[in-house]
Structure 1
Protein backbone atom coordinates (compact mmCIF):
# COMPACT_ATOMS: atom_id res chain seq x y z
CA UNK A 1 0.00 0.00 0.00
CA UNK A 2 2.83 2.34 0.90
CA UNK A 3 4.67 1.59 -2.34
CA UNK A 4 1.48 2.32 -4.32
CA UNK A 5 1.13 5.68 -2.57
CA UNK A 6 4.75 6.56 -3.32
CA UNK A 7 4.27 5.65 -7.00
CA UNK A 8 1.21 7.90 -7.30
CA UNK A 9 3.04 10.76 -5.58
CA UNK A 10 6.00 10.36 -7.93
CA UNK A 11 3.71 10.44 -10.97
CA UNK A 12 1.97 13.57 -9.74
CA UNK A 13 5.29 15.28 -9.07
CA UNK A 14 6.70 14.42 -12.50
CA UNK A 15 3.51 15.66 -14.20
CA UNK A 16 3.71 18.96 -12.31
CA UNK A 17 7.37 19.45 -13.19
CA UNK A 18 6.70 18.63 -16.85
CA UNK A 19 3.89 21.18 -16.97
CA UNK A 20 6.16 23.81 -15.42
CA UNK A 21 8.82 23.15 -18.07
CA UNK A 22 6.39 23.78 -20.94
CA UNK A 23 6.44 27.28 -22.41
CA UNK A 24 3.08 28.97 -22.92
CA UNK A 25 1.78 28.46 -26.44
CA UNK A 26 2.33 31.56 -28.57
CA UNK A 27 -0.76 33.32 -29.86
CA UNK A 28 1.09 34.12 -33.10
CA UNK A 29 4.58 33.49 -34.55
CA UNK A 30 7.42 35.11 -32.58
CA UNK A 31 5.03 36.61 -30.02
CA UNK A 32 7.78 36.40 -27.39
CA UNK A 33 10.02 38.66 -29.49
CA UNK A 34 7.24 41.22 -29.88
CA UNK A 35 6.72 41.23 -26.11
CA UNK A 36 10.46 41.78 -25.65
CA UNK A 37 10.27 44.85 -27.91
CA UNK A 38 7.35 46.21 -25.88
CA UNK A 39 9.28 45.68 -22.66
CA UNK A 40 12.30 47.42 -24.13
CA UNK A 41 10.15 50.34 -25.30
CA UNK A 42 8.57 50.69 -21.85
CA UNK A 43 12.05 51.41 -20.49
CA UNK A 44 13.29 53.64 -23.32
CA UNK A 45 10.94 54.47 -26.18
CA UNK A 46 12.80 55.55 -29.35
CA UNK A 47 12.10 59.12 -30.38
CA UNK A 48 9.69 59.72 -33.24
CA UNK A 49 11.22 60.39 -36.64
CA UNK A 50 13.76 57.57 -36.53
CA UNK A 51 14.95 55.21 -39.24
CA UNK A 52 13.07 51.97 -38.62
CA UNK A 53 14.43 48.69 -39.97
CA UNK A 54 11.90 45.85 -40.00
CA UNK A 55 11.82 42.33 -41.39
CA UNK A 56 13.25 38.90 -40.80
CA UNK A 57 16.52 37.57 -39.40
CA UNK A 58 18.56 39.50 -41.97
CA UNK A 59 17.50 42.60 -40.02
CA UNK A 60 17.59 40.95 -36.59
CA UNK A 61 21.21 39.84 -37.09
CA UNK A 62 22.35 43.20 -38.46
CA UNK A 63 23.63 44.22 -35.05
CA UNK A 64 26.49 46.46 -36.21
CA UNK A 65 24.35 48.85 -38.25
CA UNK A 66 23.42 51.19 -35.34
CA UNK A 67 27.04 51.12 -34.14
CA UNK A 68 28.45 52.10 -37.51
CA UNK A 69 25.92 54.91 -37.93
CA UNK A 70 25.74 56.13 -34.35
CA UNK A 71 24.76 59.61 -35.50
CA UNK A 72 21.60 58.29 -37.16
CA UNK A 73 18.36 57.52 -35.27
CA UNK A 74 18.28 53.84 -36.24
CA UNK A 75 15.73 51.49 -34.66
CA UNK A 76 16.21 47.77 -35.38
CA UNK A 77 13.12 45.59 -35.23
CA UNK A 78 13.93 42.33 -36.98
CA UNK A 79 11.64 39.47 -35.98
CA UNK A 80 12.90 35.89 -36.02
CA UNK A 81 12.55 34.18 -39.38
CA UNK A 82 9.41 36.16 -40.07
CA UNK A 83 7.50 36.27 -43.33
CA UNK A 84 5.91 39.28 -44.98
CA UNK A 85 2.51 37.63 -44.58
CA UNK A 86 3.08 37.67 -40.80
CA UNK A 87 3.97 41.36 -40.83
CA UNK A 88 0.72 42.10 -42.59
CA UNK A 89 -1.31 39.93 -40.23
CA UNK A 90 0.32 40.48 -36.84
CA UNK A 91 3.16 42.93 -36.34
CA UNK A 92 2.40 46.34 -37.81
CA UNK A 93 0.42 47.81 -34.85
CA UNK A 94 3.12 46.79 -32.36
CA UNK A 95 6.39 46.99 -34.30
CA UNK A 96 5.87 49.85 -36.76
CA UNK A 97 3.13 52.38 -36.02
CA UNK A 98 4.15 53.33 -32.43
CA UNK A 99 7.60 54.58 -33.50
CA UNK A 100 6.29 57.18 -35.97
CA UNK A 101 9.42 56.75 -38.12
CA UNK A 102 10.45 59.14 -40.87
CA UNK A 103 11.95 56.26 -42.86
CA UNK A 104 11.06 52.56 -42.93
CA UNK A 105 13.49 50.03 -44.39
CA UNK A 106 11.91 46.62 -45.10
CA UNK A 107 13.59 43.27 -45.69
CA UNK A 108 11.11 40.43 -46.12
CA UNK A 109 9.92 37.87 -48.64
CA UNK A 110 12.54 35.17 -49.06
CA UNK A 111 11.26 33.24 -46.04
CA UNK A 112 7.78 33.22 -47.57
CA UNK A 113 9.16 31.79 -50.81
CA UNK A 114 11.23 29.16 -48.97
CA UNK A 115 8.04 28.16 -47.10
CA UNK A 116 6.18 27.54 -50.36
CA UNK A 117 4.66 30.92 -51.23
CA UNK A 118 5.24 32.22 -54.72
CA UNK A 119 6.47 35.56 -55.97
CA UNK A 120 2.88 36.66 -56.53
CA UNK A 121 2.06 36.10 -52.85
CA UNK A 122 5.08 38.14 -51.74
CA UNK A 123 4.11 40.90 -54.16
CA UNK A 124 0.47 40.94 -53.02
CA UNK A 125 1.50 41.12 -49.37
CA UNK A 126 3.94 43.93 -50.09
CA UNK A 127 1.20 45.94 -51.78
CA UNK A 128 -0.98 45.37 -48.71
CA UNK A 129 1.87 46.24 -46.34
CA UNK A 130 2.63 49.45 -48.19
CA UNK A 131 -1.02 50.41 -48.09
CA UNK A 132 -1.08 49.91 -44.33
CA UNK A 133 1.97 52.13 -43.92
CA UNK A 134 0.55 54.88 -46.11
CA UNK A 135 -2.71 54.84 -44.19
CA UNK A 136 -1.16 54.93 -40.73
CA UNK A 137 2.15 56.72 -41.40
CA UNK A 138 1.46 58.87 -44.48
CA UNK A 139 4.61 60.98 -44.11
CA UNK A 140 7.05 58.08 -43.82
CA UNK A 141 9.42 57.27 -46.67
CA UNK A 142 9.55 53.55 -47.43
CA UNK A 143 12.50 51.54 -48.73
CA UNK A 144 12.22 47.94 -49.88
CA UNK A 145 15.50 46.03 -49.60
CA UNK A 146 15.66 43.44 -52.36
CA UNK A 147 15.71 39.78 -51.42
CA UNK A 148 19.17 38.20 -51.44
CA UNK A 149 20.24 35.03 -53.21
CA UNK A 150 21.37 32.80 -50.36
CA UNK A 151 23.51 29.86 -51.57
CA UNK A 152 21.50 27.43 -49.42
CA UNK A 153 18.32 28.48 -51.24
CA UNK A 154 19.57 28.27 -54.81
CA UNK A 155 16.43 26.49 -56.02
CA UNK A 156 14.40 29.61 -55.22
CA UNK A 157 16.53 32.12 -57.14
CA UNK A 158 14.11 32.45 -60.05
CA UNK A 159 11.13 33.01 -57.76
CA UNK A 160 13.07 35.50 -55.63
CA UNK A 161 14.17 37.40 -58.73
CA UNK A 162 10.60 37.45 -60.03
CA UNK A 163 9.29 38.76 -56.71
CA UNK A 164 11.91 41.52 -56.65
CA UNK A 165 11.13 42.46 -60.24
CA UNK A 166 7.38 42.69 -59.58
CA UNK A 167 7.86 44.77 -56.44
CA UNK A 168 10.37 47.05 -58.16
CA UNK A 169 7.93 47.68 -61.01
CA UNK A 170 5.14 48.52 -58.55
CA UNK A 171 7.34 50.82 -56.49
CA UNK A 172 8.11 52.85 -59.61
CA UNK A 173 4.41 53.84 -59.66
CA UNK A 174 4.43 55.04 -56.03
CA UNK A 175 5.53 58.23 -54.29
CA UNK A 176 7.98 58.21 -51.36
CA UNK A 177 8.82 54.54 -51.95
CA UNK A 178 12.24 53.33 -53.10
CA UNK A 179 13.53 49.94 -54.23
CA UNK A 180 17.11 49.26 -53.09
CA UNK A 181 19.15 46.55 -54.81
CA UNK A 182 20.87 44.77 -51.92
CA UNK A 183 21.65 41.60 -53.86
CA UNK A 184 24.13 42.72 -56.53
CA UNK A 185 26.69 43.75 -53.92
CA UNK A 186 26.76 40.14 -52.67
CA UNK A 187 27.54 38.64 -56.10
CA UNK A 188 30.84 37.61 -57.66
CA UNK A 189 32.04 39.18 -60.94
CA UNK A 190 30.34 36.21 -62.61
CA UNK A 191 27.00 37.35 -61.10
CA UNK A 192 26.76 34.39 -58.73
CA UNK A 193 26.25 34.57 -54.94
CA UNK A 194 29.58 35.03 -53.18
CA UNK A 195 29.70 32.36 -50.47
CA UNK A 196 32.41 34.39 -48.70
CA UNK A 197 29.69 36.87 -47.72
CA UNK A 198 27.65 34.27 -45.83
CA UNK A 199 27.86 32.37 -42.57
CA UNK A 200 28.44 28.61 -42.58
CA UNK A 201 24.72 28.00 -43.00
CA UNK A 202 24.95 29.77 -46.38
CA UNK A 203 21.72 31.56 -45.47
CA UNK A 204 22.64 34.45 -43.19
CA UNK A 205 25.18 37.15 -43.94
CA UNK A 206 28.47 37.34 -42.09
CA UNK A 207 30.20 40.60 -41.11
CA UNK A 208 31.69 41.04 -44.59
CA UNK A 209 28.26 40.66 -46.15
CA UNK A 210 26.78 43.23 -43.80
CA UNK A 211 29.68 45.59 -44.50
CA UNK A 212 28.72 45.51 -48.15
CA UNK A 213 25.08 46.13 -47.29
CA UNK A 214 26.07 49.11 -45.16
CA UNK A 215 27.91 50.71 -48.06
CA UNK A 216 24.72 50.44 -50.10
CA UNK A 217 22.35 51.62 -47.39
CA UNK A 218 24.49 54.63 -46.42
CA UNK A 219 23.35 56.43 -49.54
CA UNK A 220 19.76 56.48 -48.24
CA UNK A 221 20.43 58.04 -44.82
Structure 2
Protein backbone atom coordinates (compact mmCIF):
# COMPACT_ATOMS: atom_id res chain seq x y z
CA UNK A 1 0.00 0.00 0.00
CA UNK A 2 2.80 2.36 0.92
CA UNK A 3 4.52 1.57 -2.38
CA UNK A 4 1.40 2.47 -4.36
CA UNK A 5 1.07 5.75 -2.49
CA UNK A 6 4.69 6.66 -3.22
CA UNK A 7 4.20 5.71 -6.86
CA UNK A 8 1.19 8.01 -7.16
CA UNK A 9 3.13 10.86 -5.56
CA UNK A 10 5.99 10.29 -7.98
CA UNK A 11 3.67 10.30 -10.97
CA UNK A 12 1.97 13.52 -9.85
CA UNK A 13 5.34 15.19 -9.30
CA UNK A 14 6.57 14.08 -12.72
CA UNK A 15 3.41 15.39 -14.37
CA UNK A 16 3.82 18.79 -12.70
CA UNK A 17 7.44 19.02 -13.76
CA UNK A 18 6.55 18.09 -17.34
CA UNK A 19 3.75 20.67 -17.43
CA UNK A 20 6.12 23.38 -16.21
CA UNK A 21 8.77 22.41 -18.75
CA UNK A 22 6.31 22.40 -21.67
CA UNK A 23 4.38 25.52 -20.65
CA UNK A 24 4.79 28.48 -22.95
CA UNK A 25 7.24 31.08 -21.70
CA UNK A 26 5.68 34.24 -20.31
CA UNK A 27 5.51 37.03 -22.86
CA UNK A 28 7.72 40.03 -22.20
CA UNK A 29 5.02 42.32 -23.60
CA UNK A 30 1.54 41.87 -25.17
CA UNK A 31 1.52 39.91 -28.44
CA UNK A 32 5.26 39.28 -28.33
CA UNK A 33 4.65 36.01 -30.18
CA UNK A 34 3.18 37.91 -33.13
CA UNK A 35 6.07 40.36 -33.15
CA UNK A 36 8.49 37.44 -33.22
CA UNK A 37 6.74 36.13 -36.33
CA UNK A 38 7.42 39.46 -38.04
CA UNK A 39 11.04 39.33 -36.94
CA UNK A 40 11.40 35.84 -38.40
CA UNK A 41 9.83 36.92 -41.69
CA UNK A 42 12.21 39.88 -41.88
CA UNK A 43 15.22 37.67 -41.18
CA UNK A 44 14.30 35.69 -44.29
CA UNK A 45 13.33 38.59 -46.55
CA UNK A 46 13.53 42.13 -45.22
CA UNK A 47 11.22 44.53 -47.10
CA UNK A 48 13.07 47.22 -49.02
CA UNK A 49 13.11 50.76 -47.57
CA UNK A 50 10.44 53.09 -48.92
CA UNK A 51 7.53 50.67 -48.59
CA UNK A 52 3.96 51.45 -47.59
CA UNK A 53 3.48 50.26 -44.02
CA UNK A 54 0.10 49.43 -42.49
CA UNK A 55 0.13 49.13 -38.70
CA UNK A 56 -2.51 48.71 -36.01
CA UNK A 57 -4.84 46.17 -34.52
CA UNK A 58 -6.69 43.14 -35.90
CA UNK A 59 -8.49 45.32 -38.46
CA UNK A 60 -5.09 45.55 -40.15
CA UNK A 61 -4.03 41.98 -39.37
CA UNK A 62 -7.19 40.57 -40.98
CA UNK A 63 -6.85 42.75 -44.08
CA UNK A 64 -5.11 39.97 -45.95
CA UNK A 65 -6.42 40.85 -49.41
CA UNK A 66 -4.98 44.38 -49.49
CA UNK A 67 -1.51 43.51 -50.89
CA UNK A 68 -3.14 41.21 -53.46
CA UNK A 69 -5.45 43.96 -54.70
CA UNK A 70 -2.55 46.41 -55.09
CA UNK A 71 0.24 44.12 -56.36
CA UNK A 72 2.30 46.98 -57.77
CA UNK A 73 2.50 48.74 -54.40
CA UNK A 74 5.19 47.76 -51.84
CA UNK A 75 2.67 47.17 -49.05
CA UNK A 76 3.88 45.84 -45.69
CA UNK A 77 1.16 44.56 -43.35
CA UNK A 78 1.96 44.67 -39.64
CA UNK A 79 -1.32 44.33 -37.78
CA UNK A 80 -0.97 43.02 -34.23
CA UNK A 81 -3.82 41.05 -32.63
CA UNK A 82 -6.14 43.13 -30.48
CA UNK A 83 -3.43 45.69 -29.88
CA UNK A 84 -4.00 49.14 -28.42
CA UNK A 85 -2.36 52.39 -29.42
CA UNK A 86 -0.73 52.60 -25.98
CA UNK A 87 1.01 49.29 -26.71
CA UNK A 88 2.31 50.58 -30.02
CA UNK A 89 3.76 53.60 -28.27
CA UNK A 90 5.22 51.57 -25.41
CA UNK A 91 6.50 48.45 -27.21
CA UNK A 92 6.12 48.08 -30.96
CA UNK A 93 7.46 51.18 -32.69
CA UNK A 94 11.17 50.21 -32.58
CA UNK A 95 10.32 46.62 -33.50
CA UNK A 96 7.84 46.86 -36.39
CA UNK A 97 7.92 50.44 -37.60
CA UNK A 98 11.37 52.08 -37.60
CA UNK A 99 13.29 49.18 -39.22
CA UNK A 100 11.31 49.38 -42.47
CA UNK A 101 12.05 53.05 -43.19
CA UNK A 102 8.68 53.35 -44.97
CA UNK A 103 7.70 56.22 -47.24
CA UNK A 104 4.14 56.05 -45.90
CA UNK A 105 2.51 54.73 -42.73
CA UNK A 106 -1.20 53.99 -42.49
CA UNK A 107 -2.35 53.70 -38.87
CA UNK A 108 -5.51 52.04 -37.56
CA UNK A 109 -5.68 52.07 -33.76
CA UNK A 110 -7.72 53.37 -30.87
CA UNK A 111 -11.05 51.58 -30.71
CA UNK A 112 -9.59 48.70 -28.69
CA UNK A 113 -8.30 51.20 -26.15
CA UNK A 114 -11.73 52.76 -25.80
CA UNK A 115 -13.45 49.37 -25.52
CA UNK A 116 -10.98 48.46 -22.75
CA UNK A 117 -11.90 51.54 -20.72
CA UNK A 118 -9.55 54.23 -21.98
CA UNK A 119 -11.20 57.48 -22.95
CA UNK A 120 -10.89 59.55 -26.09
CA UNK A 121 -8.35 61.77 -24.36
CA UNK A 122 -6.01 58.83 -23.75
CA UNK A 123 -6.24 57.75 -27.40
CA UNK A 124 -5.54 61.31 -28.50
CA UNK A 125 -2.55 61.67 -26.16
CA UNK A 126 -1.07 58.40 -27.39
CA UNK A 127 -1.54 59.40 -31.01
CA UNK A 128 0.26 62.69 -30.41
CA UNK A 129 3.10 60.73 -28.80
CA UNK A 130 3.16 58.18 -31.63
CA UNK A 131 3.33 60.90 -34.26
CA UNK A 132 6.18 62.54 -32.36
CA UNK A 133 8.07 59.25 -32.32
CA UNK A 134 7.61 58.86 -36.07
CA UNK A 135 8.75 62.42 -36.64
CA UNK A 136 11.90 61.78 -34.61
CA UNK A 137 12.92 58.50 -36.22
CA UNK A 138 11.31 58.78 -39.68
CA UNK A 139 11.12 62.52 -40.40
CA UNK A 140 10.38 62.14 -44.11
CA UNK A 141 7.61 59.56 -43.78
CA UNK A 142 4.05 60.55 -44.68
CA UNK A 143 1.52 59.49 -42.03
CA UNK A 144 -2.15 58.64 -42.53
CA UNK A 145 -4.47 58.13 -39.56
CA UNK A 146 -7.43 55.96 -40.49
CA UNK A 147 -10.53 56.89 -38.51
CA UNK A 148 -11.79 54.52 -35.85
CA UNK A 149 -14.78 52.60 -37.15
CA UNK A 150 -18.14 52.24 -35.43
CA UNK A 151 -18.73 48.51 -34.95
CA UNK A 152 -22.23 47.16 -34.21
CA UNK A 153 -20.92 45.11 -31.28
CA UNK A 154 -19.48 48.23 -29.64
CA UNK A 155 -22.45 50.57 -29.87
CA UNK A 156 -22.01 51.79 -26.29
CA UNK A 157 -18.69 53.38 -27.27
CA UNK A 158 -19.88 55.33 -30.32
CA UNK A 159 -19.78 58.73 -28.63
CA UNK A 160 -16.28 58.19 -27.24
CA UNK A 161 -14.99 56.92 -30.58
CA UNK A 162 -16.48 59.93 -32.36
CA UNK A 163 -14.91 62.27 -29.80
CA UNK A 164 -11.51 60.63 -30.21
CA UNK A 165 -11.69 60.95 -33.99
CA UNK A 166 -12.74 64.60 -33.70
CA UNK A 167 -9.83 65.43 -31.38
CA UNK A 168 -7.29 63.66 -33.59
CA UNK A 169 -8.69 65.30 -36.74
CA UNK A 170 -8.33 68.74 -35.19
CA UNK A 171 -4.74 68.01 -34.18
CA UNK A 172 -3.80 66.65 -37.59
CA UNK A 173 -4.96 69.89 -39.21
CA UNK A 174 -2.21 71.69 -37.30
CA UNK A 175 0.52 69.29 -38.44
CA UNK A 176 2.51 68.78 -41.62
CA UNK A 177 2.97 65.54 -43.57
CA UNK A 178 0.06 63.79 -41.85
CA UNK A 179 -3.51 63.26 -43.05
CA UNK A 180 -6.75 61.97 -41.59
CA UNK A 181 -8.64 59.40 -43.70
CA UNK A 182 -12.31 58.82 -42.98
CA UNK A 183 -12.80 55.07 -43.43
CA UNK A 184 -15.84 54.98 -41.17
CA UNK A 185 -18.45 56.79 -43.27
CA UNK A 186 -18.12 54.25 -46.06
CA UNK A 187 -19.35 51.57 -43.63
CA UNK A 188 -22.54 53.42 -42.64
CA UNK A 189 -26.13 53.10 -43.82
CA UNK A 190 -28.14 56.13 -44.98
CA UNK A 191 -29.24 56.43 -41.33
CA UNK A 192 -25.57 56.86 -40.28
CA UNK A 193 -25.45 53.49 -38.53
CA UNK A 194 -22.89 50.73 -39.17
CA UNK A 195 -24.05 48.44 -41.97
CA UNK A 196 -24.02 44.94 -40.47
CA UNK A 197 -23.74 43.46 -43.97
CA UNK A 198 -20.12 44.67 -44.07
CA UNK A 199 -19.09 42.94 -40.84
CA UNK A 200 -18.26 39.39 -39.84
CA UNK A 201 -20.55 37.48 -37.48
CA UNK A 202 -18.80 38.99 -34.46
CA UNK A 203 -20.05 42.41 -35.63
CA UNK A 204 -16.60 43.78 -34.85
CA UNK A 205 -14.33 42.86 -37.75
CA UNK A 206 -14.96 43.65 -41.40
CA UNK A 207 -15.72 40.98 -43.95
CA UNK A 208 -14.29 41.00 -47.47
CA UNK A 209 -16.96 43.40 -48.74
CA UNK A 210 -16.27 45.76 -45.85
CA UNK A 211 -12.58 45.77 -46.70
CA UNK A 212 -13.40 46.48 -50.32
CA UNK A 213 -15.15 49.64 -49.12
CA UNK A 214 -12.00 50.61 -47.24
CA UNK A 215 -9.81 49.92 -50.27
CA UNK A 216 -11.83 52.33 -52.42
CA UNK A 217 -11.26 55.03 -49.81
CA UNK A 218 -7.51 54.54 -49.35
CA UNK A 219 -6.63 53.83 -53.00
CA UNK A 220 -5.96 57.50 -53.87
CA UNK A 221 -3.48 57.75 -50.97
CA UNK A 222 -1.41 54.72 -51.94
TM over 0.5: yes
Per-residue CA distance 1:156-203 (angstroms, 9 max, x = gap): 000000000000010011111000000000001111110000000000
Counterpart in the other structure of 1:115? 116
CA distance in 2, matches of 1:151, 1:21: 40
Report matched runs for 1:27-176 at 5 Å: 27-176=28-177
Matched, 1:196 2:184: no
Per-residue CA distance 1:70-107 (angstroms, 9 max, x = gap): 10000000001000000000000001000000000000
CA distance in 2, matches of 1:2, 1:161: 69
Residue 168 of structure 1 aligns to a residue whose secondary structure is helix
Report the Cα offset of residue 3 of structure 1: 1.4
Report the Cα offset of residue 5 of structure 1: 2.9
CA distance in 2, matches of 1:204, 1:192: 15
Counterpart in the other structure of 1:12? 13
Report the aligned-residue RMSD. Answer: 0.8
CA distance in 1, matches of 2:204, 2:35: 23
CA distance in 1, matches of 2:218, 2:17: 51
**Deviation >4 Å, runs of 4+:** none
What is the aligned length?
A: 221
Unpaired segments of 5 or more residues in structure 1? none
Report the Cα offset of residue 8 of structure 1: 2.4
Residue 179 of structure 1 aligns to a residue whose secondary structure is strand
Per-residue CA distance 1:119-139 (angstroms, 9 max, x = gap): 000000000000000000000
CA distance in 2, matches of 1:219, 1:197: 21
Report matched runs for 1:175-194 at 5 Å: 175-194=176-195
In the superposition, the TM-score normalised over structure 2's length comes to 0.98
CA distance in 1, matches of 2:107, 2:63: 13
Residue 7 of structure 2 aligns to a residue whose secondary structure is helix
CA distance in 1, matches of 2:5, 2:208: 60
Per-residue CA distance 1:5-59 (angstroms, 9 max, x = gap): 3112211221122213421111110011111110110000000000000000000
